[in-house]
């Protein structure tokens, strides 16, 4: 899994229980040391657009964002819209991980440019499998565009 070393994952989830299950799933595939967590949409945008200690935006290191839709302060849909409309962040893959099965949410997410839409399974085993599979794909298998230069 050396390929994952060059990127980080941001999980945006307001439910403590769902966050714990997500982190458990990522730990099961040895990706936990590359994961950052935030609890609402405002915190996600602040994190993404803040410069790190090396004076580069944290967005430059993100390889994937797992985003819940039903978030306090700024909704997941608003976060998705902002990130996909910004040249600096539009190529970061965004995986919506939500309990919403609403066809309008699904349609709107894809219209805004989401890369994947996963409805959170109810069973623990199914939840862990869905998150770990998505994490492996987006952090290890997927080949993102390389910056020019």
Looking at residues 88-101, what average pLDDT do you find? Answer: 92
Q: What would the pLDDT profile of 1-42 be if each residue is shown by its tens digit?
A: 434 445 788 999 999 999 998 888 888 887 656 889 999 999
Kindly tell me if the per-residue pLDDT of 144 is higher than 80: no
Looking at residues 116-128, what average pLDDT do you find? Answer: 87
Kind plus residue range of the DSSP H or E element containing 47: helix 41-48
Angle, helix 41-48 to helix 76-84, in steps of 10 degrees: 30
SS3 for 55? coil
Measured between alpha carbons, how far is 119 from 106 in angstroms, rounded to an integer? 10
Q: Which residues pair with 66 in a beta bridge?
A: 11, 95
Measured between alpha carbons, how far is 61 from 146 in angstroms, rounded to an integer? 12
User: DSSP labels for 104-148?
Assistant: HHHHHHHHHT-SEEEEPPSSHHHHHHHHHHHHHIIIII--PPPPP
Kindly tell me if the per-residue pLDDT of 121 is higher than 70: yes
Q: What would the pLDDT profile of 103-120 be if each residue is shown by its tens digit?
A: 999 999 999 999 999 998
Q: What would the pLDDT profile of 38-77 be if each residue is shown by its tens digit?
A: 999 999 999 999 866 665 677 778 889 999 999 999 999 9
pLDDT at 52: 64
SS3 for 138? helix
DSSP 8-state secondary structure symbol assigned to residue 31: -
Q: Which residues pair with 57 in a beta bridge?
A: 51
Closest CA to 136 of 8, 31, 63, 59: 31
Q: What percent of the chain has pLDDT over 90?
A: 50
- Chain centre distance of CA 129: 16
Measured between alpha carbons, how far is 61 from 71 in angstroms, rounded to an integer? 23
pTM of the predicted model as reported, rounded to 2 decimal places: 0.86
CATH class (in words) of the domain with range 2-141: alpha beta
Give me the residue spans of the domains in the chain: 2-141
């Amino acid at each position: 899994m050396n390929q994952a070393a060059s990127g980080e994952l941001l999980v945006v989830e307001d439910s403590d229980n769902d966050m714990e299950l997500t982190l458990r799933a990522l730990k099961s595939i040895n990706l936990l040391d590359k994961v950052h967590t935030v609890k609402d949409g405002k915190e996600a945008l602040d994190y993404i657009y803040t410069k790190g200690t090396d004076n580069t935006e944290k967005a430059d290191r993100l390889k994937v964002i797992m985003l819940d839709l039903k978030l306090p302060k700024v909704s997941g849909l608003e976060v998705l819209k902002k990130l996909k409309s910004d040249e600096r962040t539009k190529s970061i893959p965004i995986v919506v991980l939500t309990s919403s099965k609403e066809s309008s949410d699904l349609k709107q997410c894809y219209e805004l440019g989401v890369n994947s839409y996963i409805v959170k399974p109810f069973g623990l085993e199914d939840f862990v499998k869905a998150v770990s599979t998505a994490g492996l794909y987006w952090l290890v298998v997927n080949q993102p565009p390389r910056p020019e230069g």
